[in-house]
């Protein structure tokens, strides 16, 4: 019904969409504010050492903590965290934390973007061949699913070792490429599944129609299957973007790649006792990173808006 209305009156629809954009932004800001208020409220009301039940007196670390600690080391004030962003990262004459976080975020975003591109390319290819040849779907699909069960921290060092080997044998293989490949390993999965589902989305009647026109595989692919796959593809791309960022951050930590936000997070967390507000810098940075990644994919959706009918949720 709403699709119909939008198609009937594109101008009104657009106005409605931009109006909704502002409301969404306002809700988003309100959400952030609410989190900040809840944080400070709990910090104010909650006990400094948290609440532990079932503790045996005299036995350190016994019992189960049901409410977290609220002292300044566990939960720094919001304003302390924000102020810390503008203090030197490592003391001395080092740049402010916010600058370092931004630089690290750019490094990670770059690797995640490369990983996303590789993942999308591989995922699309897999989706296409699996749709084209049923035999390949039977053969490949279980492996694709199984591939995601392999823990990233087990997989990452293997990729790194192979990368090192290639690098040593003469072909340059920078460390960031390993990170991108690991990120792509998480990113390709939703794309492969999404493309496969999307390409198989056209109704039988539409496929039969194409057949009755004597349209070949390629014509059916470009005129029917690909357009029909867009509503499945876009959520898959968004998932892939989020996965690529996640994969890049974990990969950085795992293979010891420096300069990115994952590494920075671990490093600053190690200093959390004497400088508790510092690790929150890269934490905010990674949140922004995720938003940027998802937002960039939304731009692709904007370009494909003609095909976005009845988009599948993911």
| Interacting residues toward another protein by CB under 8 A | 49, 59-61, 69, 71-74, 88-92, 94, 100, 104, 129, 132-136, 139, 153, 156-157, 161-162, 164-166, 168-170, 252-259, 263-264, 266-275, 278
Look up residue 45 and give its two tokens: 């009301």
Smallest gap from Cβ 263 to another protein, in A, equals 8
Nearest approach, Cβ of residue 278 and another protein (Å): 8
Residue closer to another protein (CB basis): 68 or 308: 68
Q: Where are the alpha helices (DSSP H) in the chain?
A: 2-8, 10-45, 78-85, 97-132, 134-147, 152-168, 175-199, 204-212, 217-220, 226-255, 261-269, 280-303
Q: Which residue number, 136 or 292, has a Cβ lying nearer to another protein? A: 136
Among residues 242 and 252, whose Cβ is nearest to another protein? 252
Q: Are 284 and 101 in contact (CB under 8 A)?
A: yes
Nearer to another protein, 204 or 299 (CB): 204
Q: Least Å distance between CB 4 and another protein? A: 38
Least spacing, CB of residue 37 vs another protein, in Å: 24
Choose between 186 and 255: whose C-beta lies nearer to another protein. Answer: 255
Phi-psi region of 76 (alpha: psi -120 to 50; beta: other; left: phi over 0): beta
Q: Are 190 and 240 in contact (CB under 8 A)?
A: yes
Q: Decide whether 29 or 162 has the Cβ nearer to another protein.
A: 162
Residue whose C-alpha is closest to residue 43's, from 66, 82, 69? 69
Please give the backbone phi and psi of residue 72, each rounded to the nearest 5 degrees, phi first.
-65, -20
CA geometry: angle 270, 275, 278, nearest 5 deg: 80
Q: Which is nearer to another protein, 74 or 209 (CB)?
A: 74
Contact 186, 244 (CB under 8 A): yes
Least CB distance to another protein at residue 276 (A)? 9
Q: Distance between CA atoms of 262 and 57, rounded to whole angstroms?
A: 39
Smallest gap from Cβ 110 to another protein, in A, equals: 14
The token pair at 70 is 């609220």
> Smallest gap, in angstroms, from Cβ of residue 157 to another protein?
5
Q: Phi first, then psi: what are they for 286, rounded to 5°?
A: -75, -30
CA-based torsion, 298, 300, 306, 307: positive or negative:
negative
């Amino acid at each position: 019904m709403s699709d119909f209305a939008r198609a009937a009156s594109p101008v009104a629809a657009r106005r409605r969409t931009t109006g909704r954009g502002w409301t969404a932004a306002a809700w988003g800001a309100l959400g952030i504010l609410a989190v900040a208020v809840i944080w400070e409220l709990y910090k104010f009301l909650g006990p400094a050492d948290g609440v532990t039940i079932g503790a045996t007196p005299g036995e350190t670390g016994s019992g189960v903590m049901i409410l977290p600690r609220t002292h300044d080391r566990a939960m720094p004030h919001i304003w302390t965290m924000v102020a810390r962003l503008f203090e030197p990262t490592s003391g001395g004459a080092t740049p402010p934390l916010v600058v370092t976080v931004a630089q690290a975020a750019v490094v990670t975003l770059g690797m995640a973007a490369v990983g996303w591109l590789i993942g999308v390319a591989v995922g699309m290819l897999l989706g296409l061949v699996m749709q084209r040849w049923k035999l390949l779907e039977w053969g490949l699909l279980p492996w694709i699913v199984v591939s995601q069960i392999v823990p990233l921290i087990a997989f990452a060092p293997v990729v790194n070792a192979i990368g090192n080997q290639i690098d040593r044998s003469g072909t340059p293989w920078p460390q960031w490429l390993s990170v991108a490949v690991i990120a792509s390993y998480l990113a390709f999965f939703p794309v492969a599944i999404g493309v496969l589902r999307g390409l198989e989305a056209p109704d039988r009647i539409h496929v039969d129609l194409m057949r009755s026109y004597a349209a070949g595989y390629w014509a059916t692919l470009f005129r029917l299957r690909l357009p029909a796959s867009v509503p499945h593809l876009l959520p898959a791309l968004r998932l892939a973007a989020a996965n690529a960022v996640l994969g890049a951050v974990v990969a950085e930590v795992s293979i010891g790649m420096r300069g990115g936000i994952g590494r920075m997070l671990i490093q600053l967390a190690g200093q959390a006792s004497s400088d508790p507000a510092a690790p929150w810098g890269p934490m905010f940075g990674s949140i922004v990173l995720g938003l940027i990644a998802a937002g960039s994919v939304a731009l692709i959706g904007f370009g494909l808006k003609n095909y976005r009918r009845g988009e599948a949720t993911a």
